[in-house]
Amino acid sequence: MHSIKVLDKEFEPYLSEKEIQEKINELAVQLNKDYAGKKPIFLSILNGSFLFTADLFKQITIEAEVCFIKLASYKGMTSSGNVITAIGLEANVTGRHIIIMEDIIDTGKTLHHYLPQLASSGPASVKIAVLLNKKEARQFSVNVDYTCFEIPNKFVVGYGLDYDGLGRNSKDIYQLK
Ligand code: IMP
Ligand code: MG
**143 in a structural domain:** yes
* Ligand 1 binding pocket includes 102 (Cβ within 6 Å): yes
Domain for residue 83, yes or no? yes
C-alpha closest to that of 47 among 139, 128, 168? 168
Question: In CATH, what number is assigned to the domain containing residue 35?
Answer: 3.40.50.2020
Q: Does a structural domain hold residue 174?
A: no
Domain containing residue 88: 17-151
Query: 143, 84, 103, 147: which is closest to 119 by C-alpha?
Result: 143
Task: Find how far residue 74's CA is from the centre of its chain.
Answer: 14
Q: Which among 103, 139, 164, 170 is the best mutation to test ligand 1's pocket, defined by most ligand atoms within 8 Å of the CB?
A: 103
Judge whether 3 lies within some domain: no
Evaluate whether residue 141 is within a structural domain: yes
Residue 143 contacts residue 130 (beta carbons within 8 Å):
no
Q: For every one of its 177 residues, what pLDDT tens digit does the chain have, with 9 covering 90 and above?
A: 799 999 999 999 999 999 999 999 999 999 999 999 999 999 999 999 999 999 999 999 999 999 999 987 765 666 656 788 888 898 899 999 999 999 999 999 999 999 999 999 999 999 999 999 999 999 999 999 999 999 999 999 999 999 999 999 999 999 999
Q: Is residue 172 part of a domain?
A: no
Whether the CB-CB separation of 158 and 141 falls below 8 Å is answered with no
Task: Please report the pLDDT score of residue 79 as a whole number.
Answer: 62
What is residue 115's predicted lDDT score, i.e. its pLDDT?
96
* pLDDT at residue number 69: 96
Domain count of the fold of the chain: 1
Q: Does residue 176 fall inside a structural domain?
A: no
Q: Is residue 124 part of a domain?
A: yes
- Which class for 128: exposed (0-12), middle (13-18), buried (19 or more C-beta within 10 A)? buried
